[in-house]
Amino acid sequence: MNKQTVRDVNWKGQRALVRVDFNVPMKDGRITDDTRMRAALPTLLYLLDKGAAVILMSHLGRPKGQRTEKYSLEPVAGHLRSLLPGVQIRFASDCVGEEAEQAARNLGPGEVLVLENVRFHPEEEKNDPAFAQALARLGHVYVNDAFGAAHRAHASTEGVARYLPAVAGLLMEREIDVMGGALERPERPFVAIIGGAKVSDKIGVLENLLPKVDALVIGGGMANTFLAAQGHDMGRSLVETDALDIARGLLQKAAERGARLLLPVDLVVADRFEADASHRVCPATEVPADGMALDIGPETVGAYQAVIRDARTVIWNGPMGVFEMPAFARGTIAIAQAMAEVHGVTIVGGGDSVAAVEQAGLADRMTHVSTGGGASLEFLEGKTLPGVAALREKEES
């Protein structure tokens, strides 16, 4: 990554204004998954060890510019205390204004201040310059460690970088380096596994990856659209009729380039979209008129696993079926198991894929599990992320 990082700053006596992604799932005021918080700890510990006072800003949920109690970051600050025992962690009931500024000025080296949800202010998502300046007054150096929000040009992700020296955190650095390295300098064979419900959500990803990969493995609801584009009747399965031409175009491009684009040869077909639905395996070309495909079948699993196990670089984005329902999770879990056996680089990006490897207990067997859903998707599309573009370039030595 050709951007300056926290390692390029002398932090003694400095206030680090750090954008983290603490948009964590909560239930009844309790955090149910602190993965994103734990992913930020290396950066926080580095800054604290170097003598910085650390000010954290994040969003939580979608409060739509209104102060909403259920989206308060105060419980997050409480949980952070359990992750950083012995560190003084304070909480400010707003992210801008006199209280926040006073709390920032009073913060000592090695201490942490968690600001209230930046999205309580409508100016955040509008990237309002005055709001960005108000945030910037809290720190001396801006650190963006929120890869999961880097695809948004908001005040706390892009605007602040116009008013403070801006560098990447260690998590941001790793996200960009690992995924960027896989896309630009993959060890081959290079396999991309793309799933999820809709082709239309992944057009950019598919078009960007097709010229780069040795094999493109397709699963999930989007596979139905590709099969329908080949002329197969998919019964009551999810098919994007307005994306059929796009699917045909991608199939043609794959054929012209000699790239392997793998589609399911069999499917798990149910009579209804329910966890306890009656289901059976049938050839992908013989889906009954009253059936809906909800997972890839065992023959497809075997073929996909063989391709994945032989790879040296694998990127996975999107489940193979409705993995939230145990009866239709086998395909997705099988992909996770195959990736765990790869002797090379394995990258999981996207919320559902991340949930799947964690559900399978295999997250620690992957080279990298991305913290960014939409951000990792846009990165795989080859798009420039505003939160990354705003950071300082490395100085040429």
**Phi, then psi, of 209 in degrees rounded to 5:** -80, -30
Q: Which of 221, 318, 351, 387 is catalytic?
A: 351
Is 338 within 8 Å of 371 (Cβ atoms)? no
Token digits of residue 114: 């968690």
Residues 6+ apart with CB under 8 A from 204: 378, 381, 382, 383
Query: Do the beta carbons of residue 112 and residue 88 sit within 8 Å?
Result: yes
Chain centroid offset of residue 224 CA: 24
Q: Compute CA 53 distance to the chain's CA centroid, rounded to the nearest angstrom.
A: 28
End-to-end CA, the chain: 15
Task: Specify the DSSP class assigned to residue 243.
Answer: G
Contact between 53 and 107 under an 8 Å Cβ cutoff? The reply is yes
CA dihedral 272, 273, 278, 283 (to 10 degrees): 90
- Known active-site residue 139: no
Q: What does DSSP say about strands 26-27 and 30-31: parallel, antiparallel, or unpaired?
A: antiparallel
181 flagged as catalytic: no
Active site residue 90: no
How far is the C-alpha of 392 from the C-alpha of 263, rounded, in Å? 42
Catalytic residue among 180, 181, 204, 374: 374
Of the listed 36, 152, 174, 202, which one is catalytic? 36
- Which of 95, 83, 94, 91 has its CA nearest to residue 37? 83
Query: Of 126, 198, 312, 392, which is the active-site residue?
Result: 198
Q: Please indicate whether residue 137 is annotated as part of the active site.
A: no
Residues identified as active-site: 36, 198, 351, 374
